[in-house]
């Protein structure tokens, strides 16, 4: 056999790590873990089952273990914690940032959360308890309370001295909120400005007044998208009386947006969102998340069957009409799904509001009619070639009407959902497609009766 006939099959990272864990090759495992950054290790642990992940995690030294642990999703963190001994458990939870710890405990079983809180120092317990008290999905849940806040009446030299003294306990010092004597937010100053300014300069001369900020009870997704719009790496978070309570940092903002987008994608595809790594999810777990939506869509699809049954007489008089049913409902469903996806995305990023409903209807209706006209030109040519001009005319007219209708429905439903305070992503593409299938057939057969006189 020549060398060209030999194909080397190399295992993936996760397969290699699983293999050395399974065979108890501790030295090889330590070498692998020591030569990969925390985010890569975390990704591989999330792909493994609970036993293997726990075994690999125990081989990490204390500092690396904490860095890897904070990269994991809460569901994967719980899996690791349940396999640790008491002291290891306490050390790991104590070392986490308060906001990360609060998110993990919020989703953990009551027994795990109680055990974790009991093992914290009084200071860490107070911070964690305060974060747990904010509403689900709020900015207060994701912010860090460990902040260096500066009074306005300091010099640059004094401010830098305060940063050096207190910065070790803060999650970030790049953005420094400036507060008055009542701890009310009056502005921010960047660390860069302090470092580059003369020592005798007053902080008040460098402060950016009226900075972007979020309320602790605001949606975390709204606050994160505000950071994207303002290009801030940290966003001050205040309470109802404008008192500083924390900072939303860029790493947490990215996680919030990623989680929101993942949920939207799952809902738009007609599936329930799941937690944890896709590769670690079991077959029956994934099937369970998708089954409910498929059942709902199956019942909705009975509308199409009912419409076809109602117009059975029309089909018997012009059997050639049946040839174009898949083409028409496919074109209408696709047009509706495109409009729904575009509108959900526009709502999510703040480009469209519920008050724009009439503008969106008018806009999508015209877009649909233009697309339908383009498809109708093709449909007329195909129809005339195979079934004659009269059936072709029915197909052409229907394509124009069905695409205009589908685009209008697809663009309108997410905004109506928003008005009703329902997540627009729930208006999934499969749901719009199913609705357009049934109504599209009504348009088709009604057009045929009018044009053909049957």
Cα radius of gyration (the chain): 29
- CATH for 143-269 is 3.10.580.10
Q: Where are the CATH 1.10.357.20 domain residues in the chain?
A: 283-452
**pTM score, whole prediction:** 0.55
Q: What is the pLDDT of residues 191-206, one digit of tens each?
A: 999 999 999 999 989 9
Tokens of residue 312, six digits? 């059975």
pLDDT over 90 (residue 189) = yes
Cα distances (angstroms) measured from residue 266 to each of 212, 224, 262, 331, 346: 31, 20, 6, 23, 17
Phi, psi of 246 (to 5 degrees): 170, -170
Domain with CATH 3.10.580.10 in the chain: 143-269
CATH fold of 17-137 reads: MgtE N-terminal fold (1.25.60)
Among 116-125, 292-301, 351-360, which range has the highest average pLDDT? 351-360
pLDDT of residue 254: 86
Q: Kindly report, residue by residue over 33-67, the tens digit of the pLDDT.
A: 888 888 888 888 888 777 777 777 877 887 888 88
* The pLDDT of residue 403: 92
Beta bridge partners of 142: none
> Which structure tokens are listed for 353?
């509001």
Query: Over the stretch 86-136, which tens digit does the pLDDT of each residue have?
Result: 677 777 777 777 777 777 777 666 666 777 776 777 777 777 777 777 888
Count of alpha carbons within 13 angstroms of residue 418, beta-carbon side: 21
CB 227 within 8 A of CB 122: no
Residue 212 is predicted with a pLDDT of 92
Angle between helices 50-58 and 62-71 (to 10 degrees): 140
Alpha-carbon span 355 to 341, nearest angstrom: 19
CATH placement of domain 283-452: 1.10.357.20
> What are the structure tokens assigned to 34, written together?
């020591």
Q: Say if residues 150 and 159 touch (Cβ distance below 8 Å).
A: yes
Q: Are 220 and 141 in contact (CB under 8 A)?
A: yes
Q: Helix count (H) and strand count (E) of the chain? A: 21, 7
């Amino acid at each position: 056999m020549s060398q060209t006939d030999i194909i080397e099959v190399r295992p993936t990272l996760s397969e290699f790590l699983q293999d050395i864990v399974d065979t108890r090759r501790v030295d090889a495992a330590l070498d692998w873990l020591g030569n990969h950054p925390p985010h890569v290790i975390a990704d591989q642990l999330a792909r493994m089952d609970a036993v293997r992940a726990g075994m690999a995690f125990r081989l990490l030294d204390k500092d690396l273990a904490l860095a890897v642990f904070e990269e994991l999703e809460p569901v994967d963190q719980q899996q690791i914690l349940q396999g640790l001994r008491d002291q290891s458990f306490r050390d790991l939870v104590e070392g986490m940032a308060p906001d990360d710890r609060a998110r993990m405990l919020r989703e953990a079983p009551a027994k795990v959360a109680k055990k974790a809180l009991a093992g914290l120092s009084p200071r860490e317990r107070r911070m964690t308890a305060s974060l747990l008290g904010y509403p689900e999905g709020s900015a207060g849940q994701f912010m860090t309370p460990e902040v260096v806040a500066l009074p306005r009446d300091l010099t640059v030299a004094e401010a830098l001295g305060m940063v050096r003294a207190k910065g070790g306990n803060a999650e970030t010092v790049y953005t420094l909120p400036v507060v008055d004597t009542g701890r009310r937010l009056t502005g921010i100053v960047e660390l860069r400005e302090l470092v580059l300014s003369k020592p005798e300069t007053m902080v008040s001369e460098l402060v950016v007044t009226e900075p972007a900020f979020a309320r602790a009870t605001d949606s975390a997704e709204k606050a994160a998208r505000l950071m994207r719009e303002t290009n801030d790496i940290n966003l001050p978070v205040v309470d109802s009386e404008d008192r500083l309570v924390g900072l939303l940092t860029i790493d947490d903002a990215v996680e919030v947006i990623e989680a929101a987008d993942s949920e939207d994608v799952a809902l738009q595809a007609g599936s329930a969102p799941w937690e944890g790594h896709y590769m670690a999810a079991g077959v029956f777990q994934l099937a369970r998340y998708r089954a409910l939506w498929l059942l709902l869509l199956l019942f909705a699809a009975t509308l199409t069957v009912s419409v076809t049954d109602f117009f059975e007489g029309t089909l018997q008089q012009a059997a050639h009409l049946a040839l174009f049913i898949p083409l028409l409902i496919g074109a209408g469903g696709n047009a509706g799904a495109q409009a729904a996806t575009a509108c959900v995305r526009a709502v999510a990023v703040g480009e469209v509001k519920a008050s724009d409903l009439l503008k969106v209807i008018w806009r999508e209706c015209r877009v649909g009619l233009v697309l339908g006209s383009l498809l109708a030109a093709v449909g007329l040519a195909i129809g005339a070639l195979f079934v004659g001009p009269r059936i072709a005319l029915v197909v052409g007219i229907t394509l124009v009407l069905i695409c205009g209708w589908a685009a209008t429905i697809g663009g309108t439903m997410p905004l109506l959902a928003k008005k009703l305070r329902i997540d627009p992503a729930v208006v999934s593409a499969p749901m719009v497609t199913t609705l357009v299938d049934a109504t599209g057939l009504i348009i088709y057969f009604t057009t045929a009766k009018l044009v053909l006189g049957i």
